[in-house]
Structure 1
Amino acid sequence: MTVVVSGFEPFGGDETNPSWDTAQALAARADELVGQDVVAVRLPVTFDGAWPVLADAIREHAPTVVVALGLAGGSRGVRLERIAIDVVDARIPDNAGAAPVDQPVVDGGPAAYWSGLPLKGALAALRAEGIPAEVSNTAGTYVCNATFYQLMHHARSVPGMRAGFVHVPAVDVLPVDTQVRAVATVVRAALSGEPEPVIAAGAEA
C-alpha cells in the first residue's frame, strides 16, 4: 500500500510552511512511523495549481490513503477537517495573485463533501499520545478548502481510497517532529480500517 501526503509551499510572506516540512519528514521516516511507503507532494498555494499537482501524484502512485496537509496559523493543535465546501472566498490573494470571491470550487458540484478519513479514530489515537487535536467543522474558503473539496470530488470515483484534509498549527505551537508523529497517527488510523469509535467532538457554535 502507498500513502500520499501533501503539504503546501510558503505563502503570506512566510519563509517556510510546516505542512510541507511535515510531509517531507514523514516520507523520510515512513518505514519507522507508518510501515508503508509515503510519497510527499509539495503543492503550490494557488487555486489553479494545487489540485492538478496532487491529482498527478494520485494518478502516478495509486495510493490507498491520501492526507492533504495545510497550515492553520491560529490553531492551537492539529485540526482534523470534517467537511469541504464548494465555495472559494479568498481573504488574501494566492501565490499567483488570484483572489476569487464567492466562486464554486467545482461548477455544479455538491454543496459539500465529508472527509473519508477516520476522524474519531484518529482523534482518540492523538489524544492517547498527548497531542492536542480536534475535529474541525470548517477548512476555510481558501486554497486548503479548495484542494480538500477537489480531492473528495475525485475520491468518490476511486473505490477503496481513504482521503481527507488535516490542518497543522505553526511550529511555535507544535514543533515539526510532533506534527510528523501526529500525521503518522492519522495515516495509521486510515490504514487500519478499524470501525470508528463513538466520541463526542462537536462544537457549540
Structure 2
Amino acid sequence: MILLTGFEPFGGAAFNPSRAIAFRAAEMLTERSVRARAAELPCVFALAPARLNELVDEHEPDVVISLGLAAGRDALSLEKVAINHVDARIPDNAGEQPIDRQVLPGGANAYFSTLPLKGALLSLRPATDAGSKVRAEISYSAGTFVCNQVFYALMHRLDGYPEARGGFIHVPWLEASDPRIEDHARAVADIAVLALGAEPEPVFSAGRES
C-alpha cells in the first residue's frame, strides 16, 4: 500500500501543487490496481508530524512519499537527507516561526531517504526523452521549514522498519491549471511503484560540487 501526502497552501498562496500532485498520483496508482491513498498535511509545525503519524497508523503503508513545494526550483527534487533542525524563514499557517530548534530533541542528527532515488532518476529519463515536461534531480537539502520537519519525522518513524520505504520529494511551482501537474503526478506514481520493488540501486554519480 502506498501513502502519498501533500501540503495545504501556505505563505498567502491559494494553491499548493504538492497536494494536487499527491492526489492525482494516488488516482493514477489506483487505476493501475495499486492500493494507494493521498492526504493533505497542514503547513503547521505543531500539527504536521502528528497528522503524518496518524496516517501511517491508519494505513500501515509499504511506501510513504511526502511531497512539498520548493517554489524556487524547476525540477522534481528527490530529497536525500532530512536534518534534525528547524529554522523557519517565514511563519507557518499558525503564525509560528521557530528558529534554531531541533525537530526531535535528542534525536539523530539526520536520516537518509529509503526511496530508490538513483533508480528513480533512471526510470524517469525515458519519459523525459519522449517529451515529458518533468526534470528530476537528487537534492541534498530539504530546507529547514515544515517540509524538512515532516521528512525527518517520517524517517524517524520508519527507522527500524526495513520492510517500509519512505522519503520526500519537492515539486516546483505549478499553477492549478498547468497541464504539467499530470506529468509530475505520473512521475511520482512511477517512483512509488519502483519503491515497492526490491531492485538494487544503480551505481552512478548524482552528486554535486556545491
For normalisation by structure 1, the TM-score amounts to: 0.95
Per-residue Cα deviation, 1:81-106 (whole angstroms, up to 9, x for no partner): 00000000000000001100000000
Pair 1:107-2:105 in alignment: yes
**For 1:10-62, what per-residue CA distance to the aligned partner results, in whole angstroms no more than 9, with x for missing partners?**
001111101000111122222335x4111101000011111111110100110
Q: Select the residue among 157, 162, 169 that pairs with 2:160.
A: 157
What corresponds to 2:28 in structure 1? 29
Matched, 1:143 2:142: no
Question: What is the SS of the residue equivalent to 1:129?
Answer: helix
Residue 14 of structure 1 pairs with residue 13 of structure 2: yes
Q: Is 1:105–1:150's contact at 8 Å kept on the other side of the alignment?
A: yes
Q: How far apart are 1:127 and its partner, in Å?
A: 1.8
- Structure 1 runs of 4+ with >6 Å offset: none
1:77–1:174 CA contact under 8 A, matched in 2? no
Structure 2 residue identity aligned to 1:10: P
Instruction: State which of 103, 120, 136 in structure 2 corresponds to 1:133.
Output: 136
Q: Output the CA distance in 2 between the equivalents of 1:122 and 1:38.
A: 19
1:67-123 C-alpha deviation (Å, 9 max, x unpaired): 000001011110000000000000000000110000000010111000010110011
Equivalenced residue count is: 203
**Which residue, out of 79, 90, 93, partners 1:92?**
90
1:196 alignment partner, one of 177, 190, 201: 201
Matched residue SS, 2:92: coil
1:179 aligns with 2:177: no
Corresponding residue for 2:49?
A: 51
Unaligned runs of 5+ in 1: none
Aligned-pair CA distance for 1:174: 7.5
TM-score norm. by structure 2 comes to: 0.93
Q: Distance in 2 between matches of 1:177 and 1:89?
A: 32
Q: What code does the residue aligned with 1:66 have?
A: V
- Identity across the alignment (%): 47
Q: What secondary structure, in the 3-state scheme, does the structure 2 residue paired with 1:167 have?
A: strand
- Of stretches 170-179 and 148-157 in structure 1, the one that deviates more from structure 2 is 170-179
- For residue 199 of structure 1, report the CA deviation from its aligned partner: 2.0
Q: Out of 176-185 and 82-91, give the one that drifted further.
A: 176-185
Q: Is the 8 A contact 2:64 2:167 kept in 1?
A: yes
Which segments of 5 or more consecutive residues in structure 2 lack a partner in the other structure? 129-133
CA contact (8 A) 2:26 2:189 kept: no
Secondary structure in 1 matching 2:14: coil
What displacement does 1:159 show?
A: 3.5
Kindly provide the amino acid, as one letter, of the partner of residue 68 in structure 1: S
One-letter amino acid matched to 2:137: E
Residue correspondence of structure 1 range 117-128 to structure 2 within 5 A: 117-128=115-126
d(CA) in 2 for partners of 1:53 and 1:7? Answer: 12
Which deviates more from structure 2 when the two are superposed, residues 47-56 or residues 22-31?
22-31
CA contact (8 A) 1:73 1:170 kept: yes
